[in-house]
Structure 1
Amino acid sequence: MSTIDNLKDRKTPVFSPEDVTVVFVLGGPGAGKGTQCERLVARHGFAHLSAGDLLRAEQSRPNSQFGDLIRDHIRNGLIVPMEVTIALLEASMRQILDEPTAVTSTSTSTQTGDKKKKGKFLIDGFPRKLDQAIKFEEAVVPAQFVLFYDCPEAEMERRLLERGKTSGREDDNAESIRKRFRTFIETSMPVVDYFEKQDRVVKIDATPAPDQVFEATEKELEKRLGGGKLA
């Protein structure tokens, strides 16, 4: 795994966008990002990486070089240094890219391990802040675009309160939900605005039913990726 100092100093991406396709997936809490990511993984073979899940797993991993730091920051309500999150994302991408995959050769009908397969990654809930976006693109790989699920706050609140009846999550209550909305608007919307100025945002209306949202997502991804990348 890359060290924090290595990431801080790195000015050249370690992956080429010709070989690795990254799509950032953003949207307010309750916009349905997770549901749509699951469907894209199942139908189009993307790898789905969640920054939050990686941080939670890392703090519990024995002998982790970042575990104590992550725990201390979370315990004190602080944002984990972006270099740690980016290092975890990079390490996960490398692991997936290095996994041999069975490829059938049309000429020999034999199967070989192809370690140079093109990687397609959905990075969910990241970047949460503009500096994270800039550093990731500088040190890891430029993203193709941001897939932004746009949903009115009233609808997201309704969904989360409904989920809270059975989820058991402490933050699925009206007060916490509204704080999460404010945080998203203040920290993540500048990321969306930054990419939008570069024509690198695909905005999807997340209000309809999941099937309709997925249909719209596929159409937009085909326009942006095409060339077999969505296959």
Structure 2
Amino acid sequence: MPWGSDLISGPGSRKGRIVDDLQNCYGFHHIYTEDIIYREFPRKMANVMKIETVNDIKEVIESDPSHITADWIMSMIEREIEREAYHTNGFLVDYIPNQKVMIKIDTLLQNVEGMLSKFEEKYPISFALNLAVPSDKVLKTKQVYCATPEAKEKMKETGGQGDEADSGLIKRRAVLFNNTVKPFIDYFTKQDRLVTVDVTCGVADIIWHRVHELFCDLDFKPCRTVNTVIVFAFDENEADGIDYDKYQIEHVQLASIVGNANDSVENLLKHLSKFIDEQSKVADSFVVNLSGTSVTRQSVQKLTKKLILFAEVELGYIEKYLPGSPQNYIPQVNSTKYKAVCSVENEICLFPTDAEDSVCQYIALFMTYYRLL
């Protein structure tokens, strides 16, 4: 069968972003117990009662949580694996729900060791990925997650009571989650198959970079890069002044990686898209020198394909867009600004400020299109 892994993550782990990136980068299929409950529970109870809304589901579970059993959940997981086995590179199973009413379902945690052992007779698990905020860092981390304008205003209005309440809520939630996942942690720890990533920093880009590095170290093969930042330089001098080593940016001379530098703009960008995805294990930020190819300001402006304006063009420094860059970045006097086009897939294309907006949008559109094929 395709590769499978178990996912364990607590409050503040940025799990949603990490799961999304794992799916896009490695082609994994995500199976989430909470989704299964919302999707399948009304069908399970159809002969007993009519359940139409999410609130109906929660009310039934609160009144009688025994309706949700580990055996039933595992049977639904197995059914989904069998259905998707030939359409994915592997499975990412997220067993612990996020909703408090579901975390507290005792029947989900009965005989975890026996349940997982039985499951692995048919579907072996490679390892468990634990995205964890250590308990001794919960209060410190809370300051990162709750430092929003709304939270600060609440602190002013309540004299700090709101902040204390938030702190207590996060701590209680972390304790509840840690108690819930302990049987899973113990099971994979005993077999030396638990991989833990400390997510205390709370910065999704940094967490993803570490997780991606981990999977590459374990010889998993990425299908494509994600959260990519690509700087396009039409002339040699437009790539000057970028600190490649500091930001771990790879320099790409387009003319040297294609068979015919005078090929059509679309074919060259298609080839570039493929090349970037093949570099997934090396970098996720690139400077692409277009000089010596048919991709010029003038040639792109002549394209007649109808534009889909999926994003606006904005101005910003490269540090604003690079993964893990500080939000309070203060540019130096000689820093260079770029025009940026961001796709709905969080792919960012940067261009010289004198490039026409339509040129930036065309190139970004083609890059996004080819990389989603």
In the superposition, the TM-score normalised over structure 1's length comes to 0.65
Matched residue, 1:193: 186
Unpaired runs of 5+ residues, structure 1, are 1-18, 98-115, 167-171
CA distance in 2, matches of 1:91, 1:67: 24
CA RMSD of aligned residues (A): 3.5
SS in 1 for 2:191: coil
Q: What is the deviation of 1:130? A: 7.2
Q: Of 132, 148, 168, which aligns to 2:112?
A: 132
Q: Do residues 210 (structure 1) and 204 (structure 2) align?
A: yes
Matched residue, 1:182: 175
Matched residue, 2:90: 120
Deviations 1:48-102 (A, max 9, x none): 11111111111234875798897776122636210111111112222212xxxxx
CA distance in 1, matches of 2:35, 2:79: 14
Alpha-carbon spacing, 1:117–1:62, altered in 2? closer, same or farther (3 Å): closer
Point out which structure has higher relative CO (alpha carbons under 8 A, 6+ apart): 1
Identity of aligned residues (%): 20
Instruction: Report the AA paired with residue 112 of structure 2.
Output: Q
Instruction: Report the AA paired with residue 205 of structure 2.
Output: D
Instruction: Report the AA paired with residue 71 of structure 2.
Output: E
Q: What is the deviation of 1:34? A: 1.7
Alpha-carbon spacing, 1:198–1:183, altered in 2? closer, same or farther (3 Å): same
Q: What is the deviation of 1:156? A: 5.7
Matched residue, 2:125: 143
Unpaired runs of 5+ residues, structure 2, are 52-56, 98-107, 152-164, 224-373
Q: Does 204-213 or 68-77 show the bigger shift? A: 68-77
Instruction: Report the AA paired with residue 131 of structure 1.
Output: N
Instruction: Report the AA paired with residue 128 of structure 2.
Output: V
CA distance in 2, matches of 1:189, 1:53: 22
Q: Do residues 74 (structure 1) and 61 (structure 2) align?
A: yes
SS in 2 for 1:123: strand
Q: What is the deviation of 1:37? A: 0.4
Alpha-carbon spacing, 1:66–1:176, altered in 2? closer, same or farther (3 Å): farther
CA distance in 1, matches of 2:49, 2:112: 20
Q: Do residues 92 (structure 1) and 80 (structure 2) align?
A: yes
Q: Does 78-87 or 38-47 show the bigger shift? A: 78-87
Instruction: Report the AA paired with residue 184 of structure 1.
Output: F
CA distance in 1, matches of 2:117, 2:48: 22
Matched residue, 2:273: none
Q: Do residues 30 (structure 1) and 12 (structure 2) align?
A: yes
* Aligned partners of 2:138 and 2:170 also within 8 Å: no
Aligned residue pair count: 187
CA distance in 1, matches of 2:180, 2:44: 32
SS in 2 for 1:39: helix
Q: What is the deviation of 1:129? A: 3.8
In the superposition, the TM-score normalised over structure 2's length comes to 0.43
